[in-house]
Amino acid sequence: MQFLLNTQKKNGFVVFNLAGNLNWEGARKLSEVFNEELGRGEKHFLLNLEALKTIASYSLSTILKLSYLAKKQDGSIAIVCPEGNVWDVFYVLEIGKVVPLFPSEEKFWEQGKNAIAK
């Protein structure tokens, strides 16, 4: 399955919906679109990985870099990642200590939105 990315604006956040396999090429595309949004003045981001099947190591470093860039601009980033293959990778690497993780987009809007975007 190829990598798919679409964005939408919702409640003051740019939501990135990722699907398929996030490999090197997909990570480059994600970074490119993210930087375009930063250039437009957007500061708060949500990466929705609910439809993501696999993630490559390069993609993990890209996500951490995006988190750094958002914080550098006084922004925020959070990740929606339900249990499964991608969650297992995030859990083992303790990504949640650097970027807040939520099991569903619904949980993010209920619990995390206000704590993340100050």
Contact 3, 20 (CB under 8 A): yes
pLDDT of residue 6: 96
Q: So what's the pLDDT on residue 109?
A: 93
In eight-state DSSP terms, residue 11 is T
Question: Can you tell me whether residue 41 is helix, strand or coil?
Answer: coil
Residue 19's contacts (CB-CB under 8 Å, 6 or more residues apart) are 1, 3, 4, 5, 51, 52, 53
* Residues in the chain with pLDDT values less than 50: 118
State residue 111's pLDDT score: 86
d(CA 80, CA 103): 6
The CATH number of the domain covering residues in 4-113:
3.30.750.24
pLDDT at 118: 45
Torsion sign over Cα 37, 41, 43, 44? negative
